[in-house]
Homo-oligomer: A and B are copies of this chain.
Amino acid sequence: MAGTDLDPNRDPEDVEGETAIHPDDVDATIPDTDPHLSKEFTARVIDAIRDEDQDRARSLVSELHAADLADLLEGLSSANRISLVQLLGEELDPEVLYEVDASVKADIVEHIPNEQIAEALTELDTDDAVYVLEELDDEDREEVLQALDADDRVAIEESLSYPAESAGRLMQRDLVALPEFWTVGQTIDYLRSETTEIPEDFYDIFVVDPSHHPVGTVPLSRVMRTHRPVTLGEMMDKDPYVIDAEADQEEVAYQFTKYHLISAAVVDKNRRLVGVVTVDDIVEVIEEEAEEDIMALAGVADASLNESILTITRQRFVWLLINMITAVASAYVISAFGATIQQMVALAALMPIVASIGGNAGNQTMTIAVRALATKELSTLNVWRVMSRELTTASMNGAGLALVAGVVVWLVFQNPLLGGVMAAALLINTIVAGLSGLLVPMGLSRAGIDPAVASTVLVTTITDVVGFLAFLGLAALVLL
């Protein structure tokens, strides 16, 4: 937290650096970097939970932002977490349901009556309510939906009818949509009089035609600066950014980033305005999507530290097993050269270097390619330029590494031919690595497979097999 200070009025004791480790305090998982949630504060909450002191628990957390209360709940042991939720009862800030991790949410929701959840959802924006409901199991979701009043239920069910990770799920349904001929004066008067339909925070006024098709947007700051008689039609940005409710959230995030949007209109199949996506939801999508790529490249599915051990283990096991099966290909190549290795056992010591450098070089190009595909910098149209760049880079690096390794091997083993084999194999494998690091993700992407998920296994297998084959094959040809 160095240098940042979010709450000038907070208790200065709360920020004292605490780095001692308390291995037996299973509750103490709050990052010590957070000024709102010091270890002392957490300890006081845990005390209140142990004493089952409802008033103390409620008053302690009453000042917390929902995001901080969510962090607190994530940090507590499961038993304490449930006790705290039960102590808070109806005082639990509904926003917390939106803020907590999926795994913690499941834990909490089971211990709150469905009516209370329904009650909480009506206080949330539709997009946040949908997000909470998405993660309930089917039975709970049905029960909660039944407990909602008809209006809210219909709105939420309509959002849920859009595909997962689509704009329709992200959108908030309450918005300000007004006709072109309204003046600034009418608009302000309307906003001042209307209390129910308008969202608490909004950034743009959407201008619609009589069939409710969006025809323009007016940023609030422009309304504020304009005199009362001017009409919305005169001051609006025409050709508003319009997002199809079925559009994938990654695509929506791309548009928000590229055009620096704060909010954008969402339309249904008939191009009628049905909702608005705001940038705060997009910030989360961007984090999720970049995270997904990192995780997928390493073969892990979920970033949360709160996921159950069994879920994590199973999912990682599958990845490791696939990798082990592909490693058999390398083992097969090596065993084909058993006689060669037996004649010159130094080969066994050197061959992993060739494979490993190939793996690293492939990984470099692959990572660039996977991200460039995700951010739309790489397409079929510039692949030739990028490929020639990657090939040049790979050849130059391969040549440099070959020179270094070749000379060292020559000197150490006093065998110029062995040095030459090492150099040649390294050069070949580095070039193959550069090529496969680019072509594998592009091929997967074309085949409709997420390149982040499958590229690592394929590229590593190629560079391992080629590395062992080139090195041992050349050795068999040249040295024996």
Residues in B neighbouring A420, C-beta threshold 8 A? none
Are the C-beta atoms of A372 and B32 separated by less than 8 Å? no
CB-contacts of A351-395 with B (<8 A)? 351-353, 355-357, 360-361, 363-364, 366-368, 371-372, 375-386, 389, 392-393
Are the C-beta atoms of A371 and B201 separated by less than 8 Å? no
Are the C-beta atoms of B338 and A341 separated by less than 8 Å? no
Are the C-beta atoms of A247 and B3 separated by less than 8 Å? yes
Residues in B neighbouring A293, C-beta threshold 8 A? 294
Q: Which residue of B lies closest to A396 (CB)?
A: B313
Are the C-beta atoms of B360 and A300 separated by less than 8 Å? no
Within 8 Å of chain B (Cβ to Cβ): is A290? yes
Residues in B neighbouring A30, C-beta threshold 8 A? 379, 381-382
Within 8 Å of chain B (Cβ to Cβ): is A257? yes
Comparing A51-59, A111-119, A238-246, the segment that makes contact with chain B is: A238-246
Comparing A21-29, A84-92, A131-139, A150-158, the segment that makes contact with chain B is: A21-29
Are the C-beta atoms of B379 and A31 separated by less than 8 Å? yes
- In the complex, the count of this chain's copies comes to 2
Smallest CB separation, A49 vs chain B (Å): 18
1/0 per position for A11-28, CB-CB distance to B under 8 A?
A: 000000001011100101
Cα distance A251–B350 in the bound complex, in angstroms: 45
Q: Which of B220, B294, B361 sits near A294, CB closer than 8 Å?
A: B294
Are the C-beta atoms of B364 and A316 separated by less than 8 Å? yes
Within 8 Å of chain B (Cβ to Cβ): is A447? no
1/0 per position for A391-415, CB-CB distance to B under 8 A?
A: 0110011001100110000000000
Known contacts being A31-B376, A324-B357, A364-B316, is A384 close to B224, with CB within 8 Å? no
Q: Which of B8, B248, B290, B397 sits near A3, CB closer than 8 Å?
A: B248
Within 8 Å of chain B (Cβ to Cβ): is A279? yes
Are the C-beta atoms of A8 and B259 separated by less than 8 Å? no
Q: Which of B32, B188, B259, B377 sits near A224, CB closer than 8 Å?
A: B188
Known contacts being A224-B191, A262-B262, A319-B360, is A464 close to B4, with CB within 8 Å? no
Q: Which residue of B lies closest to A467 (CB)?
A: B352
Smallest CB separation, A410 vs chain B (Å): 15
Within 8 Å of chain B (Cβ to Cβ): is A299? yes
A interface residues (Cβ-Cβ under 8 A, vs B)? 1-9, 19, 21-23, 26, 28-34, 39, 65, 67, 75, 166-167, 188, 191-192, 194, 198-203, 219-221, 223-227, 239, 241-244, 246-248, 251-252, 255-262, 271, 279-280, 282-284, 286-287, 290-291, 293-295, 297-300, 303-305, 309, 312-313, 316-317, 319-321, 323-324, 327-328, 330-332, 334-335, 338-339, 341-342, 345-346, 348-353, 355-357, 360-361, 363-364, 366-368, 371-372, 375-386, 389, 392-393, 396-397, 400-401, 404-405, 430, 460, 464, 468
| Cβ contacts A to B, 28 pairs, < 8 Å | A2-B248, A3-B248, A4-B255, A8-B239, A21-B384, A28-B382, A32-B380, A67-B259, A67-B260, A188-B188, A191-B225, A192-B227, A199-B221, A220-B220, A257-B284, A262-B262, A262-B279, A262-B280, A283-B286, A294-B367, A298-B366, A299-B363, A299-B364, A303-B371, A304-B377, A316-B361, A327-B352, A338-B348
